[in-house]
Amino acid sequence: MENLEYQDQRFAGQISFEKTPVVPAGSFGDAQVGATSPIDTPKLKHRFAQVYAQDKGAAAASVTGRVIHTAKAAGSVASIDVGITQAAVGAATVTVDLKKNGATILTGVVTINNSHAAFAEVSGTISSAAYALGDNFELVIVATAGGGTLPQGLYVHTVFNENP
C-alpha cells in the first residue's frame, strides 16, 4: 500500500472532524471562496479609508466639525495622516484634530508648519482608537496665518477598521 500522506486527496462527500483541524497558514485565499458560497459579512473586517481635502491652490482654511465617518459597527481608528500640496511660509500653521462624539482621540493635534514639505504627510498619534456602532468622527481644522503664508491644498487621510 502506498503512503498517501504526501499525495493529493479528493473527497466526494462531506468531511467531519472530531477535533478542530489545524490548517496551515496560507491554505485558503480568494480562489477557495466561491461566488456561490461567499463568506458572510459579519465574519469580515471592513476598512474605511476616508479622505477630506481642501482645494489644491487654495490656502488652508479653518473648519469646525466636518463629519468624516459614522461607525457602521464596532472598530478602531487605524491612522490619521495630514498633508499639504504647497508648503507654509513664515509663522503660518494649520492644526488638525480628530474627534469622536465631540472629544479628541489624539494625544495632540497634528500640526503643519513651514518645516513640512509639500506632500510630506504628518501622522497623528491616536490615544483612544476603539469605538462602537454609531460613533461619529469629525475633523476640526484651525488655520493661523501668524504673519506668514498658509500652506495650500490641505488633505487628511483617516483609516477606520470595523468588525460587523
Higher pLDDT, 31 or 17: 17
* The model's pTM: 0.78
Name the maximum alpha-carbon separation found in the chain: 87
pLDDT over 60 (residue 1)? no
Least confident of 5-9, 81-85, 133-137, 157-161: 5-9
Q: Domain extents for the chain?
A: 42-162
Rounded-to-integer distance, Cα 35 and Cα 68, Å:
32
Residue 54 burial by CB count (10 A; 0-12/13-18/19+): exposed, middle or buried?
buried
| Contact partners, residue 9, CB within 8 Å, separation at least 6 | none
User: In CATH, what class is 42-162?
Assistant: mainly beta
